[in-house]
Amino acid sequence: MTQAIDAKALGKVAVLMGGSSAEREISLLSGHGVLAALRSQGVDAQAFDPAERDLVELRNEGFARCFIALHGRHGEDGTVQGALELLHIPYTGSGVLASAIAIDKVMTKRVWAATGLPTPRYVALARDAQADRTRLRGVPDELGLPLIVKPPHEGSSIGVTKVMGYSQMQDAVMLAARYDAEVLCEEFIEGDEVTCPVLGAGDSAVALPVIRIVAPGGAYDYQNKYFTDAVNYLVPSGLPEAEEREIQRIVVAAYRALGCRGWGRADLMVRTADRKPFLLEMNTSPGMTGHSLVPMSARAAGISYEQLCLRLVQDAALDG
């Protein structure tokens, strides 16, 4: 991880940022951080916003590779990855299929469940079921209370509600449905919230240190994630060594099961009752802002923000 990287050999690098998803604001923060880091290391890096420019311009302007700092739809979901495949421009992070699966929390859970990995029980509500009061009332009966309602294709805690009672179900589903055609209702796991990044691909994929997240009142929401300093991020996590190793093992298995490469970050809950970890989601284009968790974990492993950005660009690849 400390091997010197020749910045000039990387060629002209486009940092894709902004985009058209609900996470545009965070993507711009991530992108500008990456851009500054790459430039500080002598890389010929330039900002590129796909919401404002056609991706074909990447080829026309001679970009050799792309750092994808886009979050959410049209950036993290396989669409940009597919376009870059057609343009034959290597890019950071996972390929088309892994990106498309990981952006969909329902499909991700199906893959993990099929491979025996632990993830909370869930109910997926299609559009025609979201206004069915009888169906909605049955969800807490099936999953218990409290439960989590979220749009399965969004990130950054957008559209997420912790439902405490039956009367909240309709509003929670309506909020999530503003962002997604399908709504995911998920069993709530009481315990420690943790996250764990992974670098690499296939058998060489390795987990970075686990971060334990302690939010005020357990409210690890959009505002607390990005715009306050009220959340405590503990790295070292303070968890028993065997527990941390088990989380890392599960995260690498989850990453490989989805076919991820380059980098990613899994979010989990560790149940208080029996200390069992449960996978919530895999982020294939994690945040790189001042509050972001992958850089924080990397620092704990002796990898600076700049070194991390360089490594990710060096590992840029194509599916084919």
Q: What is the arithmetic mean of pLDDT over 25-36?
A: 96
Determine whether 267 is an active site residue: yes
Residue 72: closest CA among 27, 106, 32, 126:
27
Of 31, 91, 281, 311, the catalytic one is: 281
Residue 223: closest CA among 156, 153, 294:
156
Determine whether 60 is an active site residue: no
- Determine the Cα–Cα distance for residues 126 and 123; give it in Å rounded to an integer: 10
Compare 27 and 230 and report the one with higher pLDDT: 27
Residue 156 confidence (pLDDT): 59
Determine whether 281 is an active site residue: yes
Of 21, 23, 31, 65, the catalytic one is: 23
pLDDT band at 214 (very low <50, low <70, confident <90, very high): very high
Based on its alpha-carbon atoms, the radius of gyration of the chain, rounded to whole angstroms, reads 19
- 179, pLDDT greater than 80: yes
Strand order in the sheet with 65-68: 44-48, 12-16, 65-68
- Determine the Cα–Cα distance for residues 17 and 92; give it in Å rounded to an integer: 13
Domain boundaries, the chain: 8-92, 101-118+190-314, 122-187
Determine whether 249 is an active site residue: no
Number of other residues whose CB lies within 10 A of the CB of residue 236: 12
- 144, pLDDT greater than 70: yes
Determine whether 283 is an active site residue: yes
Residue 313: helix, strand or coil by DSSP? helix
Of 156, 224, 285, 297, the catalytic one is: 156
Determine whether 23 is an active site residue: yes
pLDDT band at 223 (very low <50, low <70, confident <90, very high): low
pTM, entire model: 0.92
Residue 1 confidence (pLDDT): 44
Residue 261: helix, strand or coil by DSSP? coil
Q: Are 195 and 265 in contact (CB under 8 A)?
A: yes
Residue 22 confidence (pLDDT): 80
- What does the DSSP assignment read for 180-195? -SSEEEEE---EEEEE
Identify the architecture of domain 101-118+190-314 in CATH. Answer: 2-Layer Sandwich (3.30)
Q: What is the arithmetic mean of pLDDT over 26-52?
A: 97
Residue found under tokens 């306050």: 228
For 8-92, CATH gives 3.40.50.20
The answer as to CATH 3.30.1490.20 being correct for domain 122-187 is yes
- % of the chain surpassing 90 pLDDT: 88
Determine whether 30 is an active site residue: no
Strand partners for 214: 232
Q: What is the arithmetic mean of pLDDT over 302-320?
A: 95
Most distant pair of Cα atoms in the chain: their distance: 62
Residue 210 confidence (pLDDT): 98
- Determine the Cα–Cα distance for residues 48 and 42; give it in Å rounded to an integer: 18
Q: What is the arithmetic mean of pLDDT over 300-313?
A: 97
- 40, pLDDT greater than 60: yes
Residue 228 confidence (pLDDT): 55
Tens-digit pLDDT profile for residues 113-124? 999 999 999 999
Q: What average pLDDT does the structure give for the chain?
A: 93
Of 91, 220, 226, 255, the catalytic one is: 226
Of 21, 265, 292, 297, the catalytic one is: 265
pLDDT band at 220 (very low <50, low <70, confident <90, very high): very low
Determine whether 241 is an active site residue: no
In the chain, % helix, strand, coil (3-state, to 5) comes to 40, 20, 40
